[in-house]
Amino acid sequence: MKQTLIKPLKIGVALFATFTIALAGCSGKPVDQATQEEKQTPVKVVNVENSSLKIDTEIVGTMKADVNVAIMPKLSGELVALNVEKGDQVDKGQVLGKIDDRDLQTTLQLQQAALQAQQAALEIAKASEKAAKTTVTAGDSALNAALINWQNAQKDLERTKALYEDGAVSKVEYEAAITREQNSRLQYEQAKIDIEKAEIGVESSQAQLKQTELSVKQAQDRLKDATIKATQAGEVVEVNAKVGDTVGPQSPLFTIVSLDPMIIESTVSAGQLSLFKEGMKVNIDVPVLNKKFIGEVSFISPVANQSGLYVVEAKIENKNKEIKPGMIGKFVIDQTLVEKAIIVPTSSIVEQGGVSKIFIVEDGKAVEKEIEIIQSQTDFTAIKGDVKANDQVVYKGQLTLVDGNLVKIIEEDN
């Protein structure tokens, strides 16, 4: 009885299995094939560029005033006037203060009186010289006549001496000839002395006049020194005395700074010197202000300091006075590493087994391209390979790709 029931049950199970297979055969495409056709890897792409690989080199520097001068009095004395205070803007040559100058004025007046007296003395000396020359050389004959008289007396003395030696004249006549020669010589020499004295008198008066003129000039300069003036335009940041104080050249009385332009100063290595040229425009970043400025390189030290570094300075326009001395700034130098190359995002490069490659998208598929890296930076890399400008390179999603995978671009950056 039991055997009869089991046999029909086996037949039913077999029929059910056959029916299930038949239904599967009528369902159309196989399940695995449909899943494969629908699978696409989502990726992000960017166009390949044919350009230069550049980086921004940052060099830290410190801001300082273009002008920072200490104004010291040129003489000692009581400060009787103070015309500025801290924070005032001044122009070059503006009067800042004054020292008591009463004694200096008196000294100048005395020197000017001495100058007038010396000028009068010179005029007298010139008149004496003129008179002496007129007396001696009147008609262009007196001095010459004295010389001729002396020369004639010399000749007469020679003849008389010869005659005396021959006994032709008496001793008295001979001695008279000697006396005439001596007198004519003295007259000639005296005439010369008179002229020389007159000339010396004029020269001495002229020298004394120059000395007195110099003394007057010195007194005038000393009087000017009592007035303290700004040697540079800028802002007064220090005033170190008040009216009534005694001041002198031992310590600064005022400090003036100019904040426009400002100077950024940095030290660079010998290898970085080539980044700078005097007169070149440079980008300057001031982090505390969250601003960027344009500067102009104004100084490059020709010699290294004790640390082996070179000082570089640039001027920055600062009309609003927002950049202050002591602030930190940065030179931002655009440096070209590679000229004219294929540039791709560094993140797009896949390293496998010592081989560098990228994936580009063609007709909806990932195409693997083996490349050679020329120069790599954090964001971008210069490469060589079978890649051209405007190819779409995968920079996100590339790590799961294999050559020929279907891809879906979910975002395209241009």
Q: 9 versus 357: which is more confidently predicted?
A: 357
Looking at residue 138, its pLDDT comes to 46
Higher-pLDDT residue of 62 and 56 is 62
Res 145 pLDDT > 70 = yes
* Residues 69, 71: Cα–Cα separation, whole Å: 6
Give the integer Cα–Cα distance in Å for 97 and 240: 12
Tell how strand 95-99 and strand 49-71 pair up: unpaired
Model pLDDT, residue 170: 85
**SS3 at position 266:** strand
Q: Give mean pLDDT, residues 108-114.
A: 78
In a domain, 10, yes or no: no
Supply the pLDDT for residue 16: 37
How confident is the model at residue 140, as a pLDDT? 45
| Residue 150 shares a structural domain with residue 87 | no
Predicted pLDDT at 26: 42
CB 262 within 8 A of CB 268: no
Per-residue pLDDT band for 198 (boundaries 50, 70, 90) equals: low
Q: How far apart are the first and last CA of the chain?
A: 83
What distance in Å separates the CA atoms of residue 362 and residue 393, rounded to the nearest whole number?
10
- Tens of pLDDT, residues 335-376: 788 888 899 999 999 998 889 999 999 999 999 999 999 988
Residue 3 lies in a domain: no
Same domain, 345 and 328: no
Give the pLDDT of residue 376: 87
Mean pLDDT to the nearest integer, 150-168? 83
* 230 within some domain: yes
Does 81 fall in a domain?
yes
- Which of these three, 247, 277, 292, is where a domain ends? 247
Collapsed DSSP state (helix, strand, coil) of residue 160? helix
pLDDT reported for residue 173: 83
The CATH number of whichever domain residue 243 belongs to comes to 2.40.50.100
Mean pLDDT to the nearest integer, 1-15: 37
In whole angstroms, what is the distance from residue 123 CA to residue 274 CA?
A: 70
Is pLDDT at 59 greater than 80 in this prediction?
A: yes
Give the residue-averaged pLDDT of 396-409: 92
State which of 336, 354, 374 marks the end of a domain.
336
Average pLDDT of span 322-340: 90
The whole-number pLDDT of residue 141 equals: 58
Specify if 31 maps to a domain: no
Q: Note whether 139 and 199 are same-domain residues.
A: yes
Computed over every residue of the chain, the mean pLDDT equals 82
**Which pLDDT does position 176 carry in this prediction?**
86
CA distances from 69 to 92, 96, 330, 343 (A): 12, 14, 26, 51
Residue 226 has pLDDT above 90, yes or no: no
Do the Cβ atoms of 254 and 238 come closer than 8 Å? yes
Q: Among 34-43, 92-101, 318-327, where is mean pLDDT lowest?
A: 34-43
User: In this predicted structure, what is the pLDDT of residue 118?
Assistant: 74
Residue 217 and residue 109 in one domain: yes
Model confidence at 254, in pLDDT bands (50, 70, 90)?
very high
Whether the Cβ atoms of residue 295 and residue 282 lie closer than 8 Å to each other? yes
Cβ atoms of 63 and 323 closer than 8 Å: yes
Look at 11-15, 69-73, 214-218, 402-406 and tell me which has the smallest mean pLDDT. Answer: 11-15
CATH code of the domain in which 300 resides: 2.40.30.170
Q: Is residue 318 scored above 60 in pLDDT?
A: yes
- Closest by CA to 61, choosing from 317, 326, 335, 322, is 326
Taking 70 as the threshold, does the pLDDT of residue 62 lie above it?
yes
Enclosing domain of residue 132? 103-225
Same structural domain for residues 110 and 142?
yes
What's the total number of domains in the chain?
A: 4
Beta strand residue intervals within 317-414, DSSP E:
328-345, 350-352, 355-362, 365-376, 380-385, 392-396, 407-413
Residue 130: which pLDDT band, with cuts at 50, 70 and 90? low
Residue 15 belongs to a domain: no
- The DSSP element (H or E) to which 58 belongs, if any, is strand 49-71
Three-state SS for 381?
strand
Q: Are residues 394 and 314 in the same domain?
A: no
Instruction: Identify the weakest region by mean pLDDT among 10-19, 117-126, 224-233.
Output: 10-19
Please give the Cα distance from 242 to 215 (Å, whole number): 32
Amino acid at 210: K
Tell me: do 120 and 266 sit in the same domain: no
User: Do residues 192 and 261 share a domain?
Assistant: no
Do 182 and 158 lie in one domain? The reply is yes
Instruction: Decide if 21 is inside a domain.
Output: no
Task: Compare 322 and 147 and report the one with higher pLDDT.
Answer: 322
Q: Is there a single domain that holds both residue 169 and residue 312?
A: no
**76 vs 112, which has greater pLDDT?**
76
Q: Is the pLDDT of residue 190 over 80?
A: no
For residues 214 and 126, state if they share a domain: yes
Q: What is the CATH number of the domain that holds 343?
A: 2.40.420.20
Find the mean pLDDT for residues 20-28: 41
Kindly state whether residue 30 falls inside one of the protein's structural domains. no
The verdict on 123 and 213 lying in the same domain is yes
Whether pLDDT at 325 is above 70: yes
